[in-house]
Amino acid sequence: MTIKPIGPSVRKGKAPNPRPFMNEYLAGALLGVVLFLSVLLTGDGLGASGAVQRVWAGILDFIAPHYVDTSAYLVNYAGGSTNPWAHWIVFLAIGTFIGGFVSGMIGRRVYTEIVKGPRISNSTRLWFALLGGTLVGYGARFARGCTSSQGLSGSALLSVGSWVFMALFFTGALVASPFVKKLWNN
């Protein structure tokens, strides 16, 4: 697939000349400061799967409000007069998306691309991405949090469940990597 740059870094249709990444130690320290401020200011840590759940509950509430009102799971998110989008985690997710886009623009890294190995087609790569994203999304809801909420926030609060989650998350990646690696190598 051809890279199609977006934004001010476009020069005669060529790929952008990206700036170097931030030092990983500085980025980690800044993430720790953001996590600390999140807990200090909101009383909650970072996360994304809760926002996705609230948005889906809101969409379902718009389509089938009676179903949402009678569902023991969904009523907590969007039942009755509850507005699922009027929650801090939805605004956190929106801010994360906007911040990532602005950061990409500043770093001249905003463009479309399908990253894949030579043994896999574009459509297969996109289907695998959709399947993987769906599985991780369901897993995040079963685990009561995504890697941000469980891994960062929960581990920072020394939650045993979060440490177990992270250990199993990395173990699962290590077990699956030999199978996926075949698709990425020559």
Which H or E run includes 37? helix 24-42
Above 60 in pLDDT, residue 8? no
Q: Please, is 82 exposed, middle or buried when counting C-beta atoms within 10 Å of its C-beta (0-12, 13-18, 19+)? A: middle
Above 50 in pLDDT, residue 85? yes
Could you tell me the CA-to-CA distances from 125 to 170, 173, 186 in Å, in that order? 22, 18, 16
What does the mean pLDDT of the chain come to?
A: 84
- Render pLDDT for 128-166 as a digit per residue (tens, 0 to 9): 999 988 988 888 888 788 888 888 888 888 889 889 988
pTM > 0.85: yes or no: no
- Render pLDDT for 51-68 as a digit per residue (tens, 0 to 9): 888 998 999 999 999 999
Above 90 in pLDDT, residue 29? yes
DSSP 23: P
Radius of gyration from C-alpha coordinates of the chain: 20
Distance of CA 165 to the CA centre of its chain: 16
